[in-house]
Structure 1
Amino acid sequence: MKAAIIGTSGYGGGELIRILQGHPVFEIDSVHTARDERPVSEEYPHLTGVFEKVLEKIEIDRIAEEADVVFLATPSRVSGKLAEGFHGKDIKVIDLSGDLRLKDRNSYKEWYGHEPVGETILSEAVYGLSEWNREEIKKARILANPGCYPTAALLGLAPVIKERLVNPETIIIDAKSGVTGAGRSPSMGTLYSELNENFKIYKVNEHQHIPEIEQQLSIWGGKEVKVTFNAHLIPVARGIMATMYAELGNELETSTLLELYEEFYREHPFIRVRKEGVFPAIKEVRGSNFCDIGLHADGRTGRVTIVTVIDNLMKGAAGQAVQNANIMHGIEEKAGLEMIPIYP
């Protein structure tokens, strides 16, 4: 099957090339940019001699005619317009931006600061949290790939929310991300001298991923859920650790909760639940599509602490996008994604 990628100058697009270049079914048919046409290897020298396609202009009709699926690795607002252009054409669309994730158009405008796409395309877009929406993903023609922070948070919270084991009003999500989560465009906050040996919070209670997390938790919980979510930037290239805290509804042992998580994720190859007393670290998933989960029920406070780690460019972006493409096309879910984490 032929895949097209739009937006290969960012880290997400670069990861899509890395994954799809070794995919057993998908072949990269074309790569596109709104900037200058030139070899991709000039943008990413590590691809020299490995991937020498030239970046082409974005021609929606031609891409739709030649490819089976298009990955939109473009910024919010740009992706939405492209998705609308592909809508109704004979091609499947996977959007890695936030433009198709929020069903409430007013919420999108509030949190993202610009006009949302139309109601029709929003209603058709399927939220691609692979482990929890597989049946809808199978039928999808337009897919909203989840954000990196929401992926880490939702995979960690899903079992206890769906089983009504925690009070959703008490959820606190404390998340840390590597600097690639800020994108590839230079900014003061991501300069080496600013970030190295530093650790800082940003967008306090205002991160655009908050409504995405709340939207899905509300669906699972059967009522409106609001969370306290804050993000921090840490001096590593890639990886996310999300630590979630919530009040337990009943006295539960750690072992009981771990059995629940193991049962929920038994058939999901990219979720690894750690043994009691063992908690995951970012480096243990680096370069892979795994999400590792550890947890502890604190009998003293009546709260549960849940820790998840993912690679923000893989399970948090390109890896999950390819996982979803596999599901959408009836391909083995693990195809092209069985790489072992890079360690150390």
Structure 2
Amino acid sequence: MSKVKVGVIGASGFVGAELTKLLLHHPNVQLMGVSSVNHIGESLSTIFPAFNGPLDQKFSDNETVISQSDVVFLCLPHGKSEALVKQCIELGKKVIDIGADFRLKDLEAYTEWYDVQVAYPELRESAVYGLPELNREQIIKAQLIANPGCYPTSILLGLYPAIKAGLIDPEKLIIDAKSGVTGAGKTLSEGTHFPIKNEGFNAYKVGSHRHTPEIEETIEKMGGGNINCSFVPHLLPVNRGILSTIYVDIKEGVTAEEIHEIYEAAYQAEPFVTVLKAGNLPDISHVTHSNQCHIGLTVDQRTNRLIIVSVIDNMQKGAAGQAVQNFNLMNGFLETEGLSMVAPSF
């Protein structure tokens, strides 16, 4: 099978570098180029020394990467992808946008939460939300994929079987999620400097995080109705990982055993989602550097509440790994191709 010519726009950030690493080892990929507007002509290893050696890449401009590639990955901040995606689509390229520009179908919600004006609303209509466990068939046929956000990935995978089966009341939804500092991106802020973050643990953007409308819109599409969730993200003093704890009321008569059976049935054929045995709860250390999602379930009998704990690596299943998973589906490869990583044992 001939290799697919691929390019990465925005490869100088954490997600871009993680994606480049995956693509360099993918058996069906020919990496044609990587771009960074601030580092044209420089080597990737000047920013990330781990690339020193035969796999090093030189940054070129966006136009060169697009012209040489059949599939283009974009790893850019919100508001920066739209014009480039328009250009790629007109040239017949397949596109996987890891940023936020196409995740929301609701144009008004996107403008309100991201404070960005949209120039090409028709692109939003054609984009497929790239959560394979929900939208696999649409992803296979898509030209433009909106890669989900990291928090929504962990949360939506945790909720999906319960909502689909009608076991819970999603209107009373509380989400407590915690992320490693790579989720904040490579640009430093006051809260991500080592002396401040080390030995610290804090909530941020309480009730105002931009992933909130993405979570709510997708829950509605799952069949959960039009909801307003309480979403509180936190920043952990670790490099990688997301742990989402989700609290939701169970409908009358639903048992813990029934819930567990439904989750196991929903994900038994999924290569990247594991439902842990009853009584076990996941740890972010069990999924780091992998494309895996682990889910643990507990029913609080006293409050009749289901507590879902879902963990992923924010850089992998929450970003670059899921993008490669979508790439595989779009191009007819095994969904697991290039994603066989296992979390370190210690």
Would the TM-score normalized by the shorter structure come out above 0.5? yes
Are residue 198 (structure 1) and residue 205 (structure 2) matched?
no
Structure 2 equivalent of residue 182 of structure 1: 184
* Residue correspondence of structure 1 range 1-344 to structure 2 within 5 A: 1-37=4-40, 38-59=42-63, 62-221=64-223, 223-344=225-346
Q: Supply the AA of the counterpart residue of 1:36.
A: H
Gaps of 5+ in 2: none
Provide the secondary structure at the position in 2 that maps to 1:28.
strand
Q: Supply the AA of the counterpart residue of 1:43.
A: I
Question: Residues 17-67 of structure 1, C-alpha deviation per residue, up to 9 Å, x if partnerless?
Answer: 1111111101211111111321111111011004222100111xx544421
Provide the secondary structure at the position in 1 that maps to 2:59.
coil
Mapped contact 1:6–1:33 kept (Cα < 8 A)? yes
Q: Supply the AA of the counterpart residue of 1:35.
A: N
Greater shift, 253-262 or 92-101, is seen at 253-262
Question: Residues 193-229 of structure 1, C-alpha deviation per residue, up to 9 Å, x if partnerless?
Answer: 1101111000010000000000000111252122111
Give the drift of 1:72: 0.1
Q: Supply the AA of the counterpart residue of 1:140.
A: A
Give the drift of 1:183: 0.1
Question: Residues 93-145 of structure 1, C-alpha deviation per residue, up to 9 Å, x if partnerless?
Answer: 00001110011111111111121342210000100001110000001001100
Identity %: 44
Q: Supply the AA of the counterpart residue of 2:115.
A: G
Give the drift of 1:162: 1.0
Mapped contact 1:67–1:91 kept (Cα < 8 A)? yes
- Normalising by the residue count of structure 1, what TM-score does the alignment of the two structures yield? 0.97
Mapped contact 1:41–1:51 kept (Cα < 8 A)? no
Mapped contact 1:64–1:90 kept (Cα < 8 A)? no
Give the drift of 1:237: 0.3
Provide closer, same or farther for how the CA distance between residues 123 and 244 of structure 1 changes in structure 2, counting only shifts above 3 A.
same
Give the drift of 1:151: 0.1
Gaps of 5+ in 1: none
Greater shift, 114-123 or 232-241, is seen at 114-123
Between the aligned partners of 1:116 and 1:314, the Cα distance in structure 2 is: 28
Between the aligned partners of 2:255 and 2:295, the Cα distance in structure 1 is: 16
Aligned length: 342
Q: How large is the RMSD of aligned CA atoms in angstroms?
A: 1.1
Give the drift of 1:343: 2.9
Between the aligned partners of 2:303 and 2:24, the Cα distance in structure 1 is: 49
Give the drift of 1:81: 2.3
